[in-house]
Amino acid sequence: MNYKIENIKQITVTKPLKLDCGQTINNFPIAYETYGKLNKEKNNAILIFHALTGDQFVSGTNPVTNKSGWWNSIVGPEKAVDTEKYFIICANVLGGCMGSFGPKNLNEADGQPYGLKFPVITIRDMIKAQESLLEYFNIKKLLSVLGGSMGGMQLLQFCALYPNRTFSAVPIASTTSHNAQQIALNELARQAIMSDPFWNKGNYYKEKKSPKNGLAVARMAAHITYMSDKGLQERFGRKLQEKKDYEFTFDADFQVESYLRHQGNVFVDRFDANSYLYISRAMDYFDLSKQFKNGLIGAFQNHKTRFLIISFSSDWLYPTKNSKDIVIALNASGANVAFAEIKTDKGHDSFLINEPEFSETLKGFLDSNFDIFKNEK
Amino acid sequence: MKNEFKIIANLIPIQSRLLDVGCGDGTLIEALIKQKNIDARGIELEENKVKKCISKGLSVIQGNAETELSQFPDKAFDFVVLSQTLQAFYRPENVLNELLRIGKKVIISIPNFGYWQVRVSLLFFGKMPVTKSLPDLWFNTPNLHMCSIKDFYQFCEKKKIKMNKIIGINSEKTSSINRINLEMKNLLSEVGIFLIS
């Protein structure tokens, strides 16, 4: 959770930003990372939006965690999103904990970390905050925007808010609003964090202990939703963890238990519990149809953006139906849309893995759209 | 590009808005975008073919035309094309109504069950016909509702669907079909193309 600031690039957003909650913020940092080179024509830029627990370190090695970037299988030299060809930008979201303005930042008013005094933010606030990056790089129109899960929500919000800022867009395993089940799962995670005594109503930054157990449980619960029943069964089944028989205790007898505990433990080292609360809240509040008179159709009316919607057959967190609803709204508003459902057992996490069908489709779409975009200019 | 597609392409004016239903690997719309700068969409059931289309930069959605045409608004397209697929739907009449709702004009091609080779196969050999345009056997054919050019002609008449143009194809030869030569063309054409509205 603690990082060396020299590894993080930041801009300071000076323009006041009026948040959906009514508060206004200004002079706040947005952290970002870039990969590849922006060409002379400035027509090879791709903006990537990260998911709930992601960050700006998409490719290569994350300099803070020393682990692979979260989309390293897809983004990099000669990969599906080829950094030798394209210029990639990714920002840490507003409310995040990897250098962008978030609840662990110090409040100038009292010199203390914000904690729960941090304003409740929305997906739309995140997008408005990131727009400054495009100004910073002086990019008028992006080649594409990409995002899976919450990244897809940001992407849809971006397209609805700035209709002419991108030539194409690929929302992956995403939705235009959370349903009751999706909100319920986020609430479960938040309650796990808030019921940890060390959470202390969000004031833990200066304490010796932080709500690591609560955050780990939140991560464990969420992790189950990222995998499919079949994927989990094939990987773990009822296999025991380095033992021949049950030990008749509550230690991790089963491999799947051990795996989830591990996922929980490694997560707390890199993520802030309050950020989890704020960002998951933003996801629950997101409802694109509410922002426009004609609902979703109004969100995309007269848009020229070329959309590719991707879903995964075994994803039960953001199932194909969520993606099809986006397709239906886009078609109803006459937008330009392609759609593919990728067959896989890997569940929601498929978008993070190099599933050949997925990465080939994405690559084909980007490369062909780059050709069309270049010729259009 | 196969002859049928060339004929269909000739029916499309430049810069039209077109939906290709069951667009396969996108051969037709790709050619039409290049030749006539049309604004094209496609819908295709098979994942592999959808992937091919997307890699060509075509806006194709993976889906089932039998159930998913309802998402398009009325008269959303200048042309809707359905190439040799009508007979494979469970409810071809419903699909046809949807095509006519979302397209100002509809181009439908059908493998002609009235073609002489088909008739010969049944009449003399007592077997279900296998021809160039009907390559599958009775147990693995996707075709559920076969019809002849004459059947479809009479269907359009009965449903008061306007037939703007009918073209018969026999290998490389094409000919215009009308009320007078219908019987003959129904015998000699392998495939019939109807432009209806």
What is the reported pLDDT for B171? 84
Nearest residue of chain A to residue B39 (CA atoms): A336
- How much is the pLDDT for A301? 87
% of residues, chain B, pLDDT over 90: 88
Task: Compute the nearest-CA separation of A332 from chain B (Å).
Answer: 5
CA distance B55 to chain A (A): 4
pTM of the model: 0.94
pLDDT of residue A376: 84
Residue A1 has a pLDDT of 47
- Domains of chain A (ranges plus CATH)? 5-178+289-376 (3.40.50.1820), 183-278 (1.10.1740.110)
Distance from CA of B48 to the nearest CA of A (A): 9
Q: Do A364 and B56 touch (CB under 8 A)?
A: yes
User: DSSP secondary structure string, A221-241?
Assistant: HHHHHHS-HHHHHHHTTT-BS
Instruction: Name the residue with tokens 């028989």.
Output: A245
Contact A310, A151 (CB under 8 A): no
What number of C-beta contacts closer than 8 Å exist between A and B?
67
Q: For residue A32, how many C-alpha atoms fall within 13 Å in the half-sphere facing its CB? A: 23
Cβ pair B105, B196 in contact under 8 A: yes
φ/ψ of residue A292, rounded to 5: -130, 150
Interface list for A 267-326 with B (CB within 8 A): 306, 308-309, 324
Angle, in degrees to the nearest 10, between helices A150-161 and A123-137: 70
Measured between beta carbons, the chain A residues lying within 8 angstroms of B71 are 327-328, 331-332
Instruction: Confirm if A253 and A241 have CB atoms less than 8 A apart.
Output: yes
Q: How far apart are CA A68 and CA A87, in angstroms?
A: 19
Please give the structure tokens belonging to residue A238: 């009822």
- A325 catalytic, yes or no? no
Sequence spans of domains, chain B: 3-113+144-196
Give domain B3-113+144-196's CATH superfamily. Answer: Vaccinia Virus protein VP39 (3.40.50.150)
Q: In this predicted structure, what is the pLDDT of residue A7?
A: 83
CA atoms of B127 and B110, how far apart (whole Å) = 21
pLDDT at A377 over 80: no
Which of A343, A365, A372 is opposite residue B47, by nearest beta carbon? A343
Residues 6+ apart with CB under 8 A from A160: A288, A291, A292, A299, A300
Kindly state the average pLDDT of the residues A217-234. 97
Rounded to whole angstroms, what are the CA distances from A295 to A110, A176, A344? 42, 11, 32
